[in-house]
Structure 1
Amino acid sequence: MKLPMSRHAFYSMTGTFTILSILGQVSTSIYSPFFYDLAIMYSSHVRVIEKSVAIFLIAFSISQLLSGFICDYVNKQSFLLYGLLVFMAGTAMVTLADKESTFLIGRIIQGLGGGVGVSVSRGLSRQLFNEKQLNISLSITNIAFAIAPAIAPLVGTLIGGCFGVSAIFYFVLMMGLMALLLLFSVGSTINQYTSPNSANVLSDTLALIKNSIVNIVSVGVASGLLYGVVFCFITIAPSMVMQQFELSKTMFSIYSLFATLCFVVGSLTNIRLAAIATITKFKLSSIFILGLSLLFCLVTIGTGDAELVAILIYCYIAFFFIGIAMPCSVTMILGFSKTSAGFLAALTGFFHLTGAAAGAYFVTLFTAGPTLSFSVTTMALSMGSVVICVFIRK
């Protein structure tokens, strides 16, 4: 008979899983203020460095999807270890890169390893914790998801400004090493409380696919497109804000922090709106974001560009509604099945990150100015989300 899990064991595992989950986000956001510095370092164009965000997200989303499928059938702790080692190998390649091709390949390897941490840690959390503990653990992880991309650029600015751009990637490597040590430290506890994998996972998953795949895909794609708006901003913001308005890296990091705070406020507002149906909150948020995007696009086209205040107002309000929509979409997808939660969690991450990769990539394809590229891309993404919402059923 298993003994009740101690408070220390619970928070130790939650902290480990949280760090494993946010490594990918940190590794992407932390060097965003230095896109131009990296382009100069590799004698490349800033558009190539911007695309490193998209290729990382593609690898990250594929890894998250596949690892979610696999983790129900293998030892999850060992799987986490291998994924972390792959991430660290990619980080080492990025750190030591002397040309753009090595840098981009390293980012792909980082993505392949980082995606494992998200899906498998969620699967382990589901297996290890009771319902109350799971809710607390996932809430802590979600808060870290929101805060990490905002804090990372500021941390990167401080490290890069004091020690050089390469030091940023050494810092990420140290985070990976810390996660590795934490994983070893909770290994015995994980073994003690881990239950055997269910023998019915495959049949339950196949039944779920047969009966609900259209609804699952609809929710996933609609929410992924909204997540793409976030990564449009992350990708193009250095050009749109720093270059155009000649702001310092510190001010850019502060503006990014405010954007994330708006996302957090939106998530907290979603909790306060518990009386409203989840699907209703999601659809209304998508509609509000589309209306806002259309207005911002018209202002940008009509004036030939947009002032910094207009850009920030659009981003902050959009991030607020995305903060409402994203937890709604996760709740909707996970609500389709209890026994296939790992599979559904993997799909959730895959759709969100695929949408993020699409937003990060499409915004770099335009030859127009960065603000116009941003406004057109975000309008297209939000419009796609609203159209797909039509096909979502309760």
Structure 2
Amino acid sequence: MLRSASERRKKIATTLAFISIPLSGFVTDIYLPSFPTMATSLGVPEHSIQLTLTCFFLSYGVSQLFVGSLLDSIGRFRPAMYGLGVLIISSLLIGITRNVQLICCLRIIQGIAVAFVVVSKRAFFVDLYSGEKLKHYLSFFTIIWSLGPIVAPFLGGYLQKFFNWQANFYFLAGYALLMLIFELIFSGETIAARKPFDLARIKGNYAMMLGDPKFLLGIITLGMSYSVVMVFNIAGPFVIENSFHFNAVTIGYCTLILGFSWMIGGIISKRLIALDFNRKASAAVVVQFVLISILFLVGYGYQQLWCLMLFAFVIHICSGFLYNLFFTQSLLYFPQHAGMTAGLLGGLVYVITSLSSFTLSRTGKIATQQDMVLRYLVISAILGVVIWSFVRVRRSAAKLAAV
């Protein structure tokens, strides 16, 4: 048991837990710059490669709905180690296969494996720490998680340039292998007492939470905010390479820049925490929609990568702002079920994102900037309608409470 280990070992195990937090971002984003090359190498259409990302999102999201409660009953350490082992094997298999259907199946398996690793490491901190120390560690979660989407595609661009698309998955296998070795040496079980897995209780609590319109609309807002970002992740690599004629390294740099914009949006949201919630949310989505509309109109006469990136940078800041705003708010609705709330939020956000990503990839070929910006426009419009509905529900609830 790690709980009774020395302070030095606990510190090392804590560092390892932090290193595992960006894992989902790495598994998601590292091969984005290789999308065009993968399509050519495997001899498949673009949407088949985009589907590999959708498969991961869907399995990762659905798994999070149940993994938390399952880990409460079977422990944290062994499932996480098995998850790392599965990630190693599946990454190696993806690297050697030429069948895109098999890659999709392996990505589904990876989604489940990564869910076990990431959720167990979130619970690690709650098991081992409490009070101010726990708050201190938790405050780093968002920042450290953001390192995955920022660093991974930047690294992936260079792996593609100097090696090939398979190198991304060999890197993931190596990353997971090193984590597995150090975890086995320095980490251990942290759960104090196991709880029985009660599926009926989980379903009942989830039904109660989703019955709250503010919570449900908040989840949809989170999913659509992230879906705006996914428009670039899914379509951007093909547009940059095929329309603007830049290579995988440039794709990596572009994704790196937009990763920072997402983080900046979250930081701005925290800084403006004292301002009225409804006004902040409404202003952010209006600014985003107006910017996308301007970019769409400009695109009829002028299309350059620098112009696209300038607009996309601010568009993604708006999404990061909204995501942080609604995630923080949604976590506060059911404090008595904090763990389940976080699991439901995280799970359904990825499910919504996977569905929107699948829809985007199936709505025709995305070959030009205008094709991509049109998808931005549609997703942002849906996001605007959801936030408008949320604000109306929130105001109605406030009026009823005042009576």
Structure-2 residue corresponding to 1:351: 348
- Equivalent pairs counted in the alignment come to 388
Structure-2 residue corresponding to 1:168: 168
* CA deviation string 1:100-159 (max 9, x = no partner): 222222222111211222333223323332243333333333223222222112212223
Structure-1 residue corresponding to 2:375: 377
Say whether 1:309 aligns with 2:299.
no
- How far apart, CA to CA, are the structure 2 residues paired with 1:87 and 1:290? 38
- How far apart, CA to CA, are the structure 2 residues paired with 1:56 and 1:200? 25
Contact 1:228 1:358 in 2 (8 A): no
Would the alpha carbon gap of residues 307 and 4 (structure 1) be closer, same or farther in structure 2, given more than 3 Å must change?
A: same
Q: Which amino acid counterpart does residue 361 of structure 2 have in structure 1?
A: T
Q: What are the residue-to-residue correspondences of 1:122-271 with 2, within 5 Å? A: 122-188=122-188, 190-191=189-190, 194-196=191-193, 206=204, 209-210=207-208, 213-271=212-270
- How far apart, CA to CA, are the structure 2 residues paired with 1:244 and 1:270? 34
Structure-1 residue corresponding to 2:400: none
Q: Which moves more between the two structures, 37-46 or 215-224?
A: 37-46
Q: Which amino acid counterpart does residue 216 of structure 2 have in structure 1?
A: V
Contact 1:61 1:353 in 2 (8 A): yes
Would the alpha carbon gap of residues 205 and 100 (structure 1) be closer, same or farther in structure 2, given more than 3 Å must change?
A: closer
C-alpha deviation, 1:328, in angstroms: 1.9
Contact 1:362 1:377 in 2 (8 A): no
C-alpha deviation, 1:174, in angstroms: 0.9
Would the alpha carbon gap of residues 206 and 114 (structure 1) be closer, same or farther in structure 2, given more than 3 Å must change?
A: same
- How far apart, CA to CA, are the structure 1 residues paired with 2:238 and 2:3? 55
Contact 2:84 2:113 in 1 (8 A): yes
Would the alpha carbon gap of residues 321 and 184 (structure 1) be closer, same or farther in structure 2, given more than 3 Å must change?
A: same
- How far apart, CA to CA, are the structure 1 residues paired with 2:40 and 2:223? 33
Identity rate, percent: 19
Q: CA RMSD in A?
A: 2.9
Structure-2 residue corresponding to 1:320: 317
Structure-1 residue corresponding to 2:39: 39
Would the alpha carbon gap of residues 60 and 382 (structure 1) be closer, same or farther in structure 2, given more than 3 Å must change?
A: same
Q: Which moves more between the two structures, 344-353 or 112-121?
A: 112-121
Q: Give the 3-state SS of the residue equivalent to 1:340 in structure 2.
A: helix
Q: Give the 3-state SS of the residue equivalent to 1:363 in structure 2.
A: helix
C-alpha deviation, 1:323, in angstroms: 1.9
Structure-2 residue corresponding to 1:285: 284
- How far apart, CA to CA, are the structure 2 residues paired with 1:30 and 1:200? 35
- How far apart, CA to CA, are the structure 1 residues paired with 2:78 and 2:279? 40
C-alpha deviation, 1:207, in angstroms: 5.5
- How far apart, CA to CA, are the structure 2 residues paired with 1:94 and 1:200? 33
* CA deviation string 1:2-54 (max 9, x = no partner): 98998755653443333333223212321122222222322222331122111
Say whether 1:67 aligns with 2:67.
yes
- How far apart, CA to CA, are the structure 2 residues paired with 1:140 and 1:7? 20
Q: Which amino acid counterpart does residue 384 of structure 1 have in structure 2?
A: I
Say whether 1:272 aligns with 2:266.
no
Structure-2 residue corresponding to 1:104: 104
Q: Which amino acid counterpart does residue 351 of structure 2 have in structure 1?
A: T
Contact 2:62 2:348 in 1 (8 A): no
- How far apart, CA to CA, are the structure 2 residues paired with 1:101 and 1:4? 46
- How far apart, CA to CA, are the structure 2 residues paired with 1:361 and 1:274? 34
TM-score by length of 1: 0.87
TM-score by length of 2: 0.85
- How far apart, CA to CA, are the structure 2 residues paired with 1:166 and 1:204? 39
Would the alpha carbon gap of residues 179 and 280 (structure 1) be closer, same or farther in structure 2, given more than 3 Å must change?
A: farther
* CA deviation string 1:258-314 (max 9, x = no partner): 1111222222222221322456534432332233233333444x44x7432332122
Would the alpha carbon gap of residues 209 and 108 (structure 1) be closer, same or farther in structure 2, given more than 3 Å must change?
A: closer
Q: Give the 3-state SS of the residue equivalent to 2:74 in structure 1.
A: coil
Where does structure 2 lack aligned partners over 5 or more consecutive residues? 398-403
* CA deviation string 1:321-378 (max 9, x = no partner): 2222222222122212334222111112123212332343232223353423322222
